[in-house]
Amino acid sequence: MTTTAGTPIDSANGKLVRTQGVTAPLGFRAAGIAAGIKASGKPDLALVFNEGPEYAAAGVFTRNQVKAAPVLWSQQVLKSGRLRAVILNSGGANACTGPGGFQDTHQTAEKLAEALSNWGTETGAGEIAVCSTGLIGDRLPMDKLLPGVTEIVHEMGGGMSGGADAAYAIMTTDTVPKEAAFHHRDKWNVGGMAKGAGMLAPSLATMLVVLTTDAAVSAEQLDKALRNATRLTFDRLDVDGSCSTNDTVLLLANGASEVSPSQDELDAAVLAVCDDLAAQLMADAEGVTKRVTITVTGAADEEQALIAARAVARDSLVKTALFGSDPNWGRVLAAVGIAPITLDPNRISVSFNGNPVCVDSVGAPGARQVDLSGADIAVLIELNVGDGTASVRTTDLSHGYVEENSAYSS
Amino acid sequence: MTTTAGTPIDSANGKLVRTQGVTAPLGFRAAGIAAGIKASGKPDLALVFNEGPEYAAAGVFTRNQVKAAPVLWSQQVLKSGRLRAVILNSGGANACTGPGGFQDTHQTAEKLAEALSNWGTETGAGEIAVCSTGLIGDRLPMDKLLPGVTEIVHEMGGGMSGGADAAYAIMTTDTVPKEAAFHHRDKWNVGGMAKGAGMLAPSLATMLVVLTTDAAVSAEQLDKALRNATRLTFDRLDVDGSCSTNDTVLLLANGASEVSPSQDELDAAVLAVCDDLAAQLMADAEGVTKRVTITVTGAADEEQALIAARAVARDSLVKTALFGSDPNWGRVLAAVGIAPITLDPNRISVSFNGNPVCVDSVGAPGARQVDLSGADIAVLIELNVGDGTASVRTTDLSHGYVEENSAYSS
């Protein structure tokens, strides 16, 4: 197993599966129901509940200055490094909804705290994170959401089914739910679920990820593992590190396994799950017909390699060429050339799926005949100025993408 | 008449027309022929010739680090601040073609110098700028280009027809030639032609512009006028200031009018022509169905307003929404929110074609019903943090754009 960043994960340490998600670790329950937020009647409310005995948690949030109410709420709550539950809704982003929207989020957390307390688990609203995804600018239908919050607490099940229901309920334009779990040989686990489907323009395609682990670790350890993993996976899924108003990645730990892995072991397991979820997000991106990896090597440093890879991954002309299975390497060079990095304009080499198409900034023989008709395209760009390397996952720019995103206020 | 940047041009000073181009000023000849570079047999070679008595010139070139051979050549030639002629070809960019490609450019200039000298005008290769546009990475067919250079010198005509032929010969995916001329009431003139059609991603859609004037002005005055005009027009056509490998804007003056306008008068006239050519470029952008102007006001300063306007103009989700005539203002807020500028996330207001859709970051009544079915959309974003204002012209992201740019190596 190899991660996006090329870091090897020793598979002797454990096993990664896609058949389980947030309820793979011990002591986590989850549920997903249709509360009536979506007009379609599809599932739209999810709950992830930590049974303890510990409640350590960490989070990574959107860097967008325009933050949705649930992001503002969850950031505040997480200052304690502690979470007992996460409630997530699809069908509405609750972003750009003013003070009223923030109150809706607050009320949702209060309602869940009340329901959990009635159910027998004394919980405060300050131990509950809230996530929302959907159209920006509309208030949530609280008359449907609040009764749903009470209902979902009763629906919570243990085992695999609860996790799958939750993963299904957070979908928007996703076509499939995304789950992954890593079972460490030392009998502790990391599980996760994700949603997000507009990877061509992550500036607005909300990504929600909830990760759970039964390892006995501190909030600080979780924070370190989560930041490391998101930097190498979700942040390099496409593009520019830009985020929607609602992007949220949460990691909850309960110590139920009674195993305390080292930081390195935790980092590797969280990275493995995030890397697999990121691959699933790319594969299900809106309108995708090609799964593309842009790798830049020989940059001055890793940061510059990443800037260059992102510049190419964002370039509409490169993306449309790949949609057309066109080995148009000139567009790759032009995209690299506008990246604000150190370059030798005469020493750039490019290969598509291992076939050299440009050597030292001049076309290679047969470059226009390279077959890119398959669904996977690996673009390798060698800058020949240093040792920096980075990869970014992206997709093509297709008719399907235009179609899906030009539909009325979706 | 008002420019993109809102600078008023006193129409009492003169008249802007689109029926004339580079040969509108006195003492310029031009021609356009089919030299056989394009497989289609369409015109592909253009010449603009300055008859004097003066030969002052200025140029602005791509900021792409990967520069085509003709850009490297013309930059060098222009260090003298003097040009006698410009030879332009479509059908091939002569970019990423190595030392051989640079020699092709040099040989083209030498050939033109020879042909002009034989024709009776002693000219050196160092007085000739070369521009190319087309696919990156292929060598030009010099066996066709060089005889074409000799032929075109004989084709040069005075008057309007030569300018129109030249404007036609530089087209690639343009559907119409672009010309504009400003006739100053004091009997001096500025003319221009432009090509470029991929405005959604100017990172690769080569823009070539040649401007002429019969004003008696120095190379320094030309340089000042040209930089001022391109900053406010072509640089704000879409996007991010990024450029193709071949982008070139040239301004030639011959003093034939024997009028020496002030710097302000020259600036205004050059700006008027550039502004009109930029509008024509936007209107003919690949796959365009909407002509969009993004204006940001109330930014900390002009630079931040421009950064914000570009961020919105580049956002694929905003562009696809506009293609769908969808007043999805939430995508505008999300795009602004990721711009690296000073923001008050709760004080952003947006209007579409004068209809408020978002006030203080919350949706306005009726926002989802605003009719954007027309071809022109004005997006106004008020940040409420300062006095900075800037506008960027862009287009929607349509099926036509994807279609045109996914065609095999175009």
Q: The tokens of A189 are what?
A: 């686990």
Say whether pLDDT at B3 is over 90: no
pLDDT score, position A276: 93
Distance between CA atoms of residues B399 and B404, nearest Å: 9
B385 Cβ under 8 Å from any chain A Cβ: no
Q: How far apart are the two ends of chain A, measured CA to CA in Å?
A: 37
Greatest Cα pair distance in chain B = 72
Q: What is the mean pLDDT of residues B384-390?
A: 97
Within 8 A of B327 by CB-CB distance, chain A residues are 409
Within 8 A of A333 by CB-CB distance, chain B residues are 66, 95-96, 136-137, 245
Using left for φ > 0, alpha for ψ between -120 and 50, and beta otherwise, residue A220 falls in: alpha
| Helix H or strand E segment including B288 | none
Greatest Cα pair distance in chain A = 72
Give B134-150 pLDDT, tens digit per residue: 888 899 999 999 999 99
Say whether pLDDT at B250 is over 70: yes
As its CATH architecture, domain A291-406 has Roll (3.10)
Query: CB-CB: which of A204, A326, A358 is closest to B331?
Result: A204
Distance between CA atoms of residues B410 and A368, nearest Å: 12
Within 8 A of A407 by CB-CB distance, chain B residues are 324, 326
Stretches in chain A below the pLDDT threshold 50: 1-8, 199-204, 239-241, 410
pLDDT score, position A205: 60
pLDDT score, position A320: 84
Query: CB-CB: which of B135, B136, B329 is closest to A333?
Result: B136
**B395 catalytic per annotation:** no
- Across the beta sheet with A28-33, the strand order is A28-33, A45-50, A85-90, A128-133
Give B288-329 pLDDT, tens digit per residue: 788 899 999 999 999 999 999 988 988 878 888 898 899 989
Which positions of B make up the binding site for substrate?
A: 172, 195, 206, 286, 405, 410
pLDDT score, position A198: 58
pLDDT score, position B303: 94
Give B171-212 pLDDT, tens digit per residue: 988 889 999 999 999 999 999 999 986 544 443 467 899 999
Say whether pLDDT at B241 is over 60: no
Decide if A54 contacts A219 (C-beta within 8 A).
no
Distance between CA atoms of residues B177 and A290, nearest Å: 36
Give B215-224 pLDDT, tens digit per residue: 999 999 999 9
How buried is residue B156: exposed, middle or buried, by Cβ count under 10 Å (0-12/13-18/19+)?
buried
Q: The tokens of B210 are what?
A: 């040649």
Give the CB-side neighbour count of residue A74, counting CA atoms within 13 A. Answer: 30
pLDDT score, position A204: 47
Decide if A108 contacts B338 (C-beta within 8 A).
no
**Those residues with Cβ within 8 angstroms of residue B398's Cβ, 6 or more apart along the chain or in another chain:** A402, B287, B288, B289, B323
Pairing of strands A248-253, A56-61: antiparallel
Catalytic residue among B97, B105, B206, B213: B206
Query: CB-CB: which of B96, B203, B397 is closest to A338?
Result: B203
Distance between CA atoms of residues B340 and B320, nearest Å: 23
Q: What is the mean pLDDT of residues B86-107?
A: 95
Known binder of ligand: residue A286?
Answer: yes
Decide if A45 contacts A148 (C-beta within 8 A).
yes
**What are the extents of the domains in chain B?**
13-283, 291-406
Give A361-379 pLDDT, tens digit per residue: 999 999 989 999 999 999 9
Residue B364, classed as helix, strand or coil, is: coil
Amino acid at B329: W
Which positions of B make up the binding site?
A: 172, 195, 206, 286, 405, 410
Q: Identify the band that residue B9 occupies on the pLDDT scale cut at 50, 70 and 90.
A: low
Give A133-145 pLDDT, tens digit per residue: 988 889 999 999 9
Axis crossing angle, helix A263-283 with helix A219-232, rounded to the nearest 10:
40
Within 8 A of B242 by CB-CB distance, chain A residues are 338
Q: The tokens of A382 are what?
A: 């060698």
| Percent residues over pLDDT 70 in chain B | 91
What torsion, rounded to 10 degrees, do the Cα atoms A235, A237, A239, A244 define? -70
pLDDT, averaged across chain B: 89
Known binder of ligand: residue A244?
Answer: no
- List the single residue in A with minimal CA-CA distance to B247: A334
Query: CB-CB: which of B203, B402, B405 is closest to A334?
Result: B203
ipTM over 0.85: no
Asked, colleague to colleague, whether A13-283 and A291-406 share their fold, the answer is no
> Phi and psi (nearest 5°) for A409?
20, 75
pLDDT score, position A1: 36
Distance between CA atoms of residues A105 and A95, nearest Å: 11
**Assigned CATH for A13-283:** 3.60.70.12
